[in-house]
């Protein structure tokens, strides 16, 4: 399993991914799922991947090969075309591998998140489906997730706003979201890779790996637990009534002897 | 879809369920999934159900029929045996309906949560699987969920403790957990039914339905959103470094002409 997350706000982008891959329950490894594609001053892009490591690795290899040769993600003029470049490579690998996988009842299930900015075009965030088609995050839905997305979603729904959330806050939301997911699904695990991109900087502003015992990450989870419990205590109490007599009686017959 | 939740703490039990049932996307109804079985002063039990409404309704009908006649949940001496009674009826309905369902590629997927107390035996909380076997909540895992469980789980993992969480707090955790789930999955929806049981009271202490526009419920969700955003602001900032030069350079080749 995997959990990857991209947040876009007016200030820029936060992209984060766990690093656990597993083939069955008894084979877990560490693998990087966050890959930067940067030409400082010209373009800064980051991909996140979920799904079969073998297939997503192939897509990344093709993207990196083209990028190094000045093609593909190094050559397109805007983020929509960049998302289409990722989609093309996803389709290329699908064409090579899908039939063989499906013959053995395995799915071609590679998902990508792509975030970044190229030149004077706006910073954008995309999800690319296994079929290669792209979906863009919007001001109304300013985040995208792939992999094990449910545990980490409520905090994003409740907290992240395109206009109001600073990147510094978005970093915290991303770490809380990943922390919640790692706690509930052992197939999502540390280290966590994170990239932070400030709009119009055209470079990767921050890139950090949070290792298993990272003190910042641990402290944040602990403080978050404490803050939540405190917040619950301060919520107003809910008025609860005794059950209505009628309903109580309906199910309250004495058992017969 | 459905989301039902039981929390057990030293003080007692909170049981809650949404009321939305749907057959496909275009047929949604309101249906009670929380059913009390109470003989005041002697026993107080509550069931929650998920899965095919037709099948869970059959199980409830059989349980209520026996209860009214002083058998089954009205007659057993402890919660383990009560969970076995529910399991027996689940198996009875499975025997009647499973083959026909599976012939049309439908699953027999009825899950039950059972919480309560009988006489001087301890209050307990059980999950009963579609196969009829029971699982008991423990001090280490003091809550059980059925249906759409993932969205509402992180808040429980972070906050609910068997020894430390009061029932008044547990009510809030349950409402937050249900609120998070209803926000993310439209197949889980209001009204919300909630039962509160204080250990050794041997009656249903509170029973409340939160309707769609319930002001307490809305206010709690709004205040919770605000409290979360405030808590995130007060979390320590995470030190982020510029990307290491080596890694940055690796992906930072100028495209060739």
Top-confidence residue, B79 or A255: B79
pLDDT at B176 (0 to 100): 94
For chain B, domains (ranges, CATH) are: 3-234 (3.60.20.10)
pLDDT, mean of residues A90-96? 96
On average, the pLDDT of chain B sits at 91
H/E element holding A221? helix A215-234
CA distances from B141 to A30, A129, B9, B124 (A): 29, 36, 10, 12
Has residue A255 got a pLDDT over 60?
Answer: no
Give the model's confidence band at A242: pLDDT under 50 very low, under 70 low, under 90 confident, else very high.
Answer: low
Top-confidence residue, B124 or A221: B124
Q: How close, in Å, is residue A166 to chain B by CA atoms?
A: 10
- Measured between beta carbons, the chain A residues lying within 8 angstroms of B44 are none
Interface contact B231-A241, CB threshold 8 A: no
pLDDT at B255 (0 to 100): 43
Region class of B6: left (phi > 0), else alpha (psi between -120 and 50), else beta = beta
- Looking up tokens 């998140």 gives A113
Give the model's confidence band at B171: pLDDT under 50 very low, under 70 low, under 90 confident, else very high.
Answer: very high
- Measured between beta carbons, the chain B residues lying within 8 angstroms of A173 are 232
Measured between CA atoms, the residue of chain B closest to residue A182 is B154
Q: How close, in Å, is residue B257 to chain A by CA atoms?
A: 8
Interface contact A38-B238, CB threshold 8 A: no
Measured between CA atoms, the residue of chain B closest to residue A185 is B150
Interface contact B204-A248, CB threshold 8 A: yes
Q: How close, in Å, is residue B238 to chain A by CA atoms?
A: 7
pLDDT at B244 (0 to 100): 56
Interface contact B236-A219, CB threshold 8 A: yes
Q: How many CA atoms lie within 13 A of A57 on its CB side?
A: 6
CA distances from B159 to A59, A194, B154, B169 (A): 41, 26, 8, 9
Measured between CA atoms, the residue of chain A closest to residue B228 is A159
pLDDT at A186 (0 to 100): 87
Interface contact B159-A236, CB threshold 8 A: no
Q: Counting one residue from A and one from B, how many pairs have CB atoms under 8 Å apart?
A: 212
pLDDT, mean of residues A218-243? 86
Has residue B98 got a pLDDT over 60?
Answer: yes
Interface contact B67-A251, CB threshold 8 A: yes
Interface contact A180-B154, CB threshold 8 A: yes
Per-residue tokens: A99: 């039939």
Interface contact A196-B75, CB threshold 8 A: no
- Measured between beta carbons, the chain A residues lying within 8 angstroms of B160 are none
Interface contact A206-B255, CB threshold 8 A: no
CA A120 – CA B163 distance, rounded (Å): 57
pLDDT at A150 (0 to 100): 95
Top-confidence residue, B1 or A138: A138
On average, the pLDDT of chain A sits at 91
Backbone angles phi, psi at A91, to 5 degrees: -65, -35
Please answer whether residues A83 and A115 qualify as being in contact, where contact means their C-beta atoms are separated by less than 8 angstroms. no
Interface contact A228-B155, CB threshold 8 A: yes
CA B58 – CA B128 distance, rounded (Å): 15
- Measured between beta carbons, the chain A residues lying within 8 angstroms of B38 are 248, 251-252
pLDDT at A243 (0 to 100): 63
Reference A197, options A38, A18, A17; nearest CA is: A38
Please answer whether residues A7 and A174 qualify as being in contact, where contact means their C-beta atoms are separated by less than 8 angstroms. yes
∠A7-A9-A15 over CA atoms, to 5°?
Answer: 25
CA B119 – CA B44 distance, rounded (Å): 9
Interface contact B255-A75, CB threshold 8 A: yes
CA A50 – CA B147 distance, rounded (Å): 25
CA B16 – CA B208 distance, rounded (Å): 9
Measured between CA atoms, the residue of chain A closest to residue B170 is A232
Interface contact A256-B70, CB threshold 8 A: yes
Percentage of chain B beyond pLDDT 90 is 77
- Measured between beta carbons, the chain B residues lying within 8 angstroms of A35 are 251
Give the model's confidence band at A240: pLDDT under 50 very low, under 70 low, under 90 confident, else very high.
Answer: confident
Has residue A160 got a pLDDT over 50?
Answer: yes
Measured between CA atoms, the residue of chain A closest to residue B194 is A240
Q: Does the structure's ipTM exceed the value 0.90?
A: no
Q: How close, in Å, is residue B70 to chain A by CA atoms?
A: 4
- Measured between beta carbons, the chain B residues lying within 8 angstroms of A196 are 240
CA B16 – CA B75 distance, rounded (Å): 25
């Amino acid at each position: 399993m995997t959990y990857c997350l991209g947040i876009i706000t007016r200030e820029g982008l936060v992209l984060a991914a766990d690093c656990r891959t597993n083939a069955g329950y008894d084979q877990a490894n560490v693998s990087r799922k966050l890959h930067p594609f940067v030409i400082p001053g010209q373009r800064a892009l980051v991909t996140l991947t979920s799904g079969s490591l073998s297939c997503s690795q192939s897509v990344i290899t093709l993207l990196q090969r083209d990028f190094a040769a000045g093609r593909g993600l190094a050559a397109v003029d805007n983020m929509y075309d960049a998302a289409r470049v990722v989609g093309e490579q996803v389709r290329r690998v699908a064409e090579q591998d899908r039939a063989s996988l499906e013959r053995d009842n395995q799915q071609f299930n590679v998902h990508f998140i792509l975030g970044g900015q190229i030149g004077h075009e706006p910073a954008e965030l995309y999800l690319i489906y296994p079929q290669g088609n792209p979906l863009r995050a919007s001001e109304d839905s300013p985040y995208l997730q792939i992999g094990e997305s449910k545990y980490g979603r409520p905090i994003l729904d409740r907290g992240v706003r395109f206009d109001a959330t600073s990147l510094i806050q978005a970093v915290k939301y991303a770490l809380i979201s990943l922390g919640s997911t790692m706690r509930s699904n052992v197939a999502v695990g540390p280290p966590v890779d994170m990239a932070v991109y400030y709009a119009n900087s055209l470079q990767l502003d921050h890139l950090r790996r949070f290792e298993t015992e990272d003190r910042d990450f641990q402290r944040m989870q602990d403080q978050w637990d404490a803050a939540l419990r405190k917040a619950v205590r301060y919520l107003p109490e809910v008025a609860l009534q005794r059950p209505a007599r009628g309903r109580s009686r309906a199910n309250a017959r004495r058992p017969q002897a």
